Every structure is written in C-alpha cells, then in structure tokens.
Structure 1
Amino acid sequence: MEPAISVGTSHAWAALGADPALLERVSYGGPTDGLPARLPVLELARATVAVCSLAAAELAAVRTGRPVPRVRVDDGAVATAFLSDRLVRVDGRAWTAFAPLSRFWRAADGWVRTHANYPHHRDRLLRALGLPDGAGADAVAGAIAGRRAVDVEDAVYAAGGLAVAVRGVPQWAAHEQGALVPARPLLTLERMEHPAATGPTRAWSRITGTGTPQLPCAGLRVLDLTRVLAGPVATRTLALLGADVLRIDAPHLPESQEAHNDTGMGKRSTILNLGHGTDHRVFEELLAGADVVVTGYRPGALDRFGLGAEALAERRPGLVVAQLSAWGRYGPWHGRRGFDSLVQAATGIAVLEGHDGEPGALPAQALDHGTGYLLAASVLRALTGQHGPDGGGTWLARSALTQTAHWLVHGLARTPGRGGGHDPERWTATRDSPMGRLRHALPPLSYEGGPANWARPPGRWGTDAPRWATATD
C-alpha cells in the first residue's frame, strides 16, 4: 500500500472539519484503471471512499476507546463499488439502469439530456412535448429536434419533468445557477444552535457499550427518505457499519426492485403515506426513536411533513440530519429535481467527456456515488462530534451533486496510475436473497477490524413493517 495522501482526500477531510493528523492512517493500493475518463473520476472515487472509511474508523475509536484503525483504500474495490448499479445481477439478470427515453437528444441548437426512468417522469416529459401517452423514442426525437435546447429544458421542467440543456463549462459558469457554485463549499457540516440539544443525546445514552470496530454504528437508528442513487448509497454505507436503517417511500412513488437490489443492502424498506393521518402518526413514532434522518428529495419537498432541518431540530433535539440535493439549496434552480446524468449534462461534464461533437458521460454515476460517500462521512463525523467534549447537539450535514461536479471539474487532479488490470469480479460476492441468487459489488470501505460485507441482502422493496428492528430481525 502507498502511504502518500492524495490532494482530493486531504480536501474532502478538511471539508468535514476533521483532524488532519488522522490522514496518516490512510494508504492506497490496487489497480487504477477501473474508471477510465478524461476527468479524474478515480481520484474523486478514491477520495470520497477514503474519507468515509476514515470517518468510520474515527467513530470506531471513539466508541471503543482504542486508537483509530488504519484505513486501506483499494482502487479496484473502489472502482467496482462505483459501478455497483451496473454489476448487480439476480439469477444472472442485469438491471437496465436507464429507460429508453432517458438519453441525449439533438435539439435545433445543441443537445438535451432527459431523465424518464420513473413512469411519472416519462409521462410529464411526453406531455411537455405535446406527445401522447406511450409515444416512443422516434416521436420524442422529432419533437425535440425543432426546438432550442433551453426551450425544451424550460417546458419539461414546467411540466414537472426532467430535462436539461447540455452546456459546456464556460456556459455553466455564466449561467445564473452555475455562477453561484464556486463560492459554495464541497459540503457543509455544522452543529445547529438549539437550546434543547445540549448534553448527551438519547442515542449515546441508549447504545453505550454496543459499538465495535467492525460495527461503529451498532444500535443507531436511521430513517432513510432518499431515492436513487446518492442517498441510498449513503444509507447503505451506514447499514454496513451496523446502523438499523429503515427506508420509507410513499405509495404513489414506487421504487424499482432492480434499484433496490443494488442500494438496499443491509436495510429494511417500508411504505408510508405521510399525508395520511394514521401513517403520519406511525412515522412520528419512528422519528421519536431515530438518531439520524437522511433526506434526498428536492429542497422543500418534505417541509409540509415537518421534515425541514429546523422543524426536525425543534421536534427531535439531538438528531443528525443529513440532506442531499441535486443543484444545491440556493439559486434559481434550488427547488428543481435532478439526477447524476442531468448534473453531468448541465455542468459541462458531458461536453468534456464527449466525442466527435456528441456529448458523453462518466464511466459510472460518479457524482451520485461520490456524494453518497461524502454524505455518509458527514453523518459519521457528526456522530463523533456528538461524543466529543461538548457532547450531544443536533447536527446538520448537506451535500449536493452540483458541488461534487464542480470539485471533479475544477478541484481534482489525476494521480499517477499503478496499472494491474481491473477485474470487477474480484470485488463482487454472490449470496441468496428473497429475489433469487444475488451478485453485488462488495463495499469499498476498508479499515482494520471493519466489516467486509453487509449483514443482510436487500429484501423486497416496501414489504417490511414500519418499526425499528428487534432482536429477532
């Protein structure tokens, strides 16, 4: 293993407000050719996994009273994990991550990227383009070809769908949203000022003595209100470390089982309608016992249910609140929906990765995965902070795909390669699951005494009871 600390790892660790002396615990190794791209994608992947691993090791040390374990970052394992959504198989069947209407389209003056994986997004896209239900790719291509890219972007957004005009780096920098990004940090992690949130939290009082180096999050309860892909990657990581993670989805927004096969590792999954009185009361009971709440919906979307940061701090002092967004919580696009592919298209990445005048894409949904590990690291550092000399506190962590994209384009440099050949099969495992024989990528987090795999495979989406785990689960 190579002990030299990468600039990306140092930057991300500093953004977490962590002790720089702990970076000497990190080393790297493994083949570096698993995520080939023009941009330093592997450096982003390596750095985000490294800081998440180190944050887990730090929490393990806090909970056990032992020295911080050494962290080992294997670039082959990291690359495989960033490709997890493409490598997952059930009885040999692959998941087709992108639907036929989720792609680049040629517009009258450039290109448009759409996202229509979910049926309601597909329907809104077609409606915005004046097309009938069930219209196919040829009809969509024809409808977009005669329009300016920004006009398609505006029309689809107004209809509640997802489309962005493909922009180069200079165009994004001049855009009213993009111009705000450079002044924002990679992530934010802060202790919220709240008079009722001082002193030891209920979490630490309840779980004292239960943490181990292998499971530093043992005993912690996490409410997971996220969707594909960054948020579920973050909560999947907390589940790996021993947390009881309960994912909650609305009945009118079903998740695909294929997506859950990848990101549901170690978790349980239930369905609640937060707008329904009985279900909302069940949720409030779950919240009363939660230690961490992770949300991944567009900013403001959950506020009517009392799930804004301030409302959560008021009702449940001592929580760690982690919020993920696509475009950040600022600027004219702060309330827009977004996915990795759309952020790549808007911020100039698709142009940088393009060929022969056509836009391209990163070799993995690296903004999603990288932001997911950063968000998990933020939660882990907040938990460590709650155990610090000041004790307790309500903590707020925020990450955004667009900030991660800016970091990739402007803040990272490619590190020397080691070669060796990347064979993803080396970092995958196969196990039985309720859906069949499941092949999945192994977790990339690695530190002395840490977990090698999730304790349980994913179950069938939405079929678990809305309660915290018991000893028999």
Structure 2
Amino acid sequence: MTSPFFAGASQAWAALGADPSLLDRLSYGGPSGGLPARLPVIELARAAVAVCSLAAAELVSVRTGRPVPRVRVDDESVATAFLSDRLVRVDGHAWSTFAPLSRFWRAADGWVRTHANYPHHRARLLAALGVPGDAGAEAVARAIEERTALEVEETVYAAGGLAVAARGPEEWAKSKQGTMVAGQPLLTMTRLDDAPKRMRGAVALPCAGLRVLDLTRVLAGPVATRTLALLGADVLRIDAPQLPESQEAHNDTGMGKRSTTLDLGDATGRRMFEELLDEAHVVVTGYRPGALDRFGLTPEALAGRRPGLVIAQLSAWGHYGPWRERRGFDSLVQVATGIAELEGSADSPGALPAQALDHGTGYLLAAGVLRALAEQHHTGGTRLVRLALTQTAHWLVHDLAPASDEDDGFDTGRRLTETDSPMGRLRHALPPVSYEGGPVNWARSPGLWGTDAAVWGGA
C-alpha cells in the first residue's frame, strides 16, 4: 500500500472502522486527467468511491459467506460520476445547475456567494437585501456592494436565506466553527443500543431485501441513496409536498429509486410514514440538524420505535458549533472553508471542477451505511452514521496528498449511457461503484419526482 493512490482510501477506510487487510482487494486503473484542480479533487473522488465499493464487496461476503470480491476503481468512471449532475440530458437538453442569483458577488470589502436555486430561498434573499421580489442580478449586485460580506451573510441568514462571506483557509481555521470541524474525524459511526441482529439470507446484491427511507435533498444524500439502490436496496425518497424540488436534479440522483411526498405534520401523512418506518432497515436524512426533531426523527427516537435500524445523517456544517442549524450547500461550504480562495485568483474566488464535497460525502455516507450493515450482521445494535460537508472539505484541504498532473486521455463520453424514462430519452453517467460480479447500471430509471405511491416496492 505504498502507492499514493491508496493513501486517501486508507484514511477513509480507517475512519469507517474497517479491516485494513481488505484494502489488498483494491486496485486502480483507467485514464486519468479528470477533475483538474489545485486541490486533490480526483484523490478525494477516487478514495470515496473506492471505500464505498470495498464496503459493498465486504457486505457481499458477509451475507454470502464467500470471499470478499475484488474491487477495481476506474478514474474515468469516477470523474464522470462526480460530474453526473452536469452531464445528464433529457432528449439532448441540458439544464443549468445554478440559478441566476446563485453566484459570487462583490461586497464592499470582499466577496460573498449566495444560493437561490429554490424559489423560497430566492424570495428570502431578495427580502433580506431590501430589493423587489422581481429584481434581477443588477439590483442584487447594487444591494450587496453597499454592504460588507459578513453583513450580507448575517442579514440573509437571519431572513432564512443562504449567503456566505468568502473566507481564506486561515480565517476559517481560526473561527469557532472551523476550529470545531478540525477536531472532528472524517465521519463518525456509533452503536446506540444492543438491539438483536436481523439475520438476512444470502443474496446476489449486498443490499437486496433492505428497505431505505430517503429523507434527503440535493445533492450528497441523494447520491448516497442512489448508490444503495444500485446495490439492491428498495429506496423510497420522501419529500414534503410544500417544498419544491427540481425534476432536472432528480433525473440524475433519482436513479434506481422511487419518490413520493408526505406531509409529516398531517395526521394521515404521519400515519403513512410510521407504517413505512415499521418495515424500514435504513433511514437516511439530509436536513440541517434539528429540522426533523419535531417529527420524532432524532436518532434516539428512531431507535426506540424501530430497534436495529441503521440511521445515517448528513449536514452541511456539522452537528455541533454555532453554525450547526444553518442551511448550507456544497458551493457555500467551499466559500466558507477557504476552498474558493485556494481555487481562485487575485481577481476573484474560484470553485472546484465539480460539486465534489457533495458527491464525495455521498459516497462516504453510502460506505458508512454499508459498513454499519456489515457490523450489524455480526453483533446487532442500532447504528448511527454521521457526516458533514465541512468535514469532507477539511479532509480535502488538509489530509489528502496532491494528485498527479498526468492526463491519459480522459473522456466522459465513454462512461455515459442512454435509457428511456418518463421524461424522455435520458443520458446519464454510469455508476462508479463496482466490484467483481457486481451491478454495472441501475435497475430502473428515475420517474417523475413525487409521483410514486407511499408504499414499499412490490407492496
């Protein structure tokens, strides 16, 4: 394990509490040159996919009693998958991943980045800045350039919107939130109780027979649950009917899953959710800490109602510190943690070549679920897996070795395919998670968001 290719995977595999000898089952190949950046983005991508694939292979062995299959990680496949949200097409048509008001703005003393992809976030941003609801970019620019970056951040967040002042890595490291992030591991895995193990028979796919409740939104959580669906799980995504969602985003991350809406504040919706929970094996949440507590969805409450669950939670800023209840997205975490400065120039901040914090955290989250299931198979217990985009960002900036600048002819087109879907002819990236004898594509294309019945598959 002297190759630099294995360094990131070794770190992530150790964070997952896994047997280090299984890393011998891992190898790398394929053309390189994808995801060029100053930071080691391809190493993050390669490592996250590697440990997810290896965790899937380990669970195959656990459930069948056979040796752990070999895993080969293909760089071209990995890089293409990390760009999947930008490469998806319906009948040849692309979509813009960022709305016009989701961008960098020059403030009086620096830069600020806003996120306004959803209508309610756009409305809150405009209201906080004191500009009309139909205002365009010019009016927003004028409102922001009159304020300091921190003033914009605080004003917009107080109104329920999303804006983050650009910070350098040193400034972030000295902040209270940054200091707390630096003291955290890449991820945490906790056993909550001694619930008896649920014995499951030998199956062809590691997650076959498992039911996953997916309470996540763009992008990391849906990437994780999409991966569990690839590996055989029955994944049902649940959204609140009053929260809008992008069908275009779902065209990418809805692979292999079904999608429904339930109002958990309504008696009927809550009853239907509890019925689904009674038969679930995994619950994945991607809302900011505390947002779902009023529905009894804390890890402790879930463990009490459904002992033996695997509960996986992700957030932008972490379950700790002064920013724990803040909303956040990959682009904003890049700005806060100094990544935008490191990838930028003297004239303006920059960005990673993909939403790498989202995708990387998504594959790490899926790996955590797979490892929890493997441990649970042996010793039972309700398990809790937690990750945060900021912790992945810290890993990228501080712990991963720089990647090679070699370019061996990387071509995303070789890892794209097409399939029919309810929306039209869908072009999409093939899954990067694989192992010897494992699936090479999703079992079903995504459907129309929120239109499936609130029942488990086959029910």
* Contact 1:31 1:418 survives alignment (8 Å): no
Pairing 1:9-28 to 2, within 5 Å after superposition: 9-28=9-28
- Give the distance between the partners of 2:36 and 2:197, measured in 1 at CA: 46
Contact residue 4 and residue 401 of structure 2 kept, 8 A: no
Aligned mates of 1:79, 1:462 — CA distance in 2: 29
Specify the alignment match of 1:117 in structure 2. 117
Q: Which residue matches 1:273?
A: 263
Task: Supply the distance in 2 between the matched residues of 1:4 and 1:26 (Cα, whole angstroms).
Answer: 13
Aligned to 1:76: 76
Whether the aligned pair in 1 keeps the contact of 2:83 and 2:354 (CA below 8 Å) is yes
Partner of 1:400: 388
Q: 1:152 to 1:278 in 2, by over 3 A?
A: same
Gaps of 5+ in 2: none
Q: Does 1:151 align with 2:151?
A: yes
Matched, 1:362 2:352: yes
1:441 matched to 2:434? The reply is no
Moved over 6 A (4+): none
What do the CA deviations read for 1:299-352 (whole angstroms, capped 9, x no partner)?
000000011111101111000000000000110000100000000000000000
CA contact (8 A) 1:3 1:26 kept: no
The Cα offsets for residues 348-371 of structure 1, whole Å up to 9 and x where unpaired, read as: 000000023200000000000000
Secondary structure in structure 1 of the residue aligned to 2:350: coil
Verify: 1:199 aligned to 2:196, yes or no: yes
Q: What is the aligned partner in structure 1 of residue 201 from structure 2?
A: 208
Residues 239-265 of structure 1: CA distance to partner in whole angstroms, max 9, x if unpaired? 000000000000111211000000000
**Cα distance in structure 1, aligned partners of 2:183 and 2:72:** 32
Quick one: which of 211, 223, 243 aligns to 1:233?
223
**Structure 2 partner of 1:179:** 179
Q: Does the alignment pair 1:352 with 2:345?
A: no
Residue 125 of structure 1, CA deviation: 0.2
Cα offset, 1:417, TM superposition: 5.0
Q: 1:64 to 1:417 in 2, by over 3 A?
A: farther
Match of 2:235 in 1: 245
Q: Encode CA deviations 1:76-115: one digit per residue, 9 max, x unaligned.
A: 0000000000000000011211000000000000000000
Question: In the alignment, residue 7 of structure 1 is paired with which amino acid?
Answer: A
- Deviation per residue, 1:396-453 (Å, 9 max, x gap): 0000000000000000012335532111010011000000000000000121001000
User: What TM-score, normalized by structure 1, do the two folds share?
Assistant: 0.95
Query: How big is the shift at 1:4?
Result: 6.9
- Paired residues, number: 458
| Aligned partner (choices 383, 387, 409) of residue 421 of structure 1 | 409
Q: Deviations over 1:151-181 (max 9, x none)?
A: 0000000000000000000110111211111
Distance 1:339 1:393 in 2: 32
* 8 Å Cα contact 1:429/1:442 also seen in 2: yes
Q: CA deviation at 1:454?
A: 0.1
Aligned to 1:450: 438
Asked if the contact 1:30–1:418 (Cα under 8 Å) also holds between the matched residues in 2, the reply is no
Matched ranges for 1:215-364 at <5 A: 215-364=205-354
Q: SS of 1:431's equivalent?
A: strand
- How far off is 1:198 after superposition? 2.6
Distance 1:313 1:184 in 2: 24
Given residue 100 of structure 2, which amino acid in structure 1 is its aligned partner?
P
Q: Percent identity?
A: 74
Matched residues in 2 for 1:5 and 1:122: separation?
Answer: 41
The CA distance in 2 between the partners of 1:281 and 1:75, in whole Å, is 45
Distance 1:5 1:70 in 2: 16
> In structure 2, how many angstroms separate the alpha carbons of the residues matched to 1:403 and 1:179?
11
Q: CA deviation at 1:465?
A: 0.1
SS of the aligned residue for 1:93 comes to coil
Q: Distance in 2 between matches of 1:406 and 1:386?
A: 29
Q: Distance in 2 between matches of 1:451 and 1:61?
A: 15
Q: TM-score, normalised by structure 2?
A: 0.98
CA distance in 2, matches of 1:182, 1:292: 29
The CA deviation string for residues 178-212 of structure 1, in whole angstroms up to 9 with x for no partner, is 111111000001211x3xx43222xx3xx423x21
Give the partner amino acid of 2:69. Answer: P
Is residue 29 of structure 1 aligned with residue 29 of structure 2? yes
CA contact (8 A) 1:107 1:148 kept: yes
Secondary structure of 1:429's match? strand
CA distance in 1, matches of 2:116, 2:128: 12
C-alpha contact (below 8 Å) 2:5/2:43 kept by paired residues: no
Aligned to 2:427, the other structure's residue is in SS state: strand
Deviation at 1:65, TM superposition (A): 0.8
Question: How far apart, CA to CA, are the structure 2 residues paired with 1:346 and 1:336?
Answer: 12
**Following superposition of structure 1 onto structure 2, how do residues 91-170 of structure 1 map, counting pairs within 5 Å?**
91-170=91-170
**How far, CA to CA, are the matches of 1:356 and 1:182 in structure 2?**
27
Q: Is the 8 A contact 1:223 1:294 kept in 2?
A: yes
Which letter maps to 2:449?
A: W
Q: Is the 8 A contact 1:3 1:24 kept in 2?
A: no
In 1, distance between residues paired with 2:6 and 2:279? 39
* Residues 258 and 446 in structure 2, CA contact (< 8 A), matched pair in contact too: yes
Output the CA distance in 2 between the equivalents of 1:12 and 1:314. Answer: 30
1:430 aligns with 2:418: yes
Q: Which runs of 5+ in 1 are unaligned?
A: none
Write the distance in 1 (CA, Å) between the matches of 2:364 and 2:179.
Answer: 23
Contact 2:216–2:284, Cα closer than 8 Å, also in 1: yes
Q: Note if contact 1:3-1:27 (Cα within 8 Å) is conserved in structure 2.
A: no
8 Å Cα contact 1:3-1:28 kept in structure 2 = no
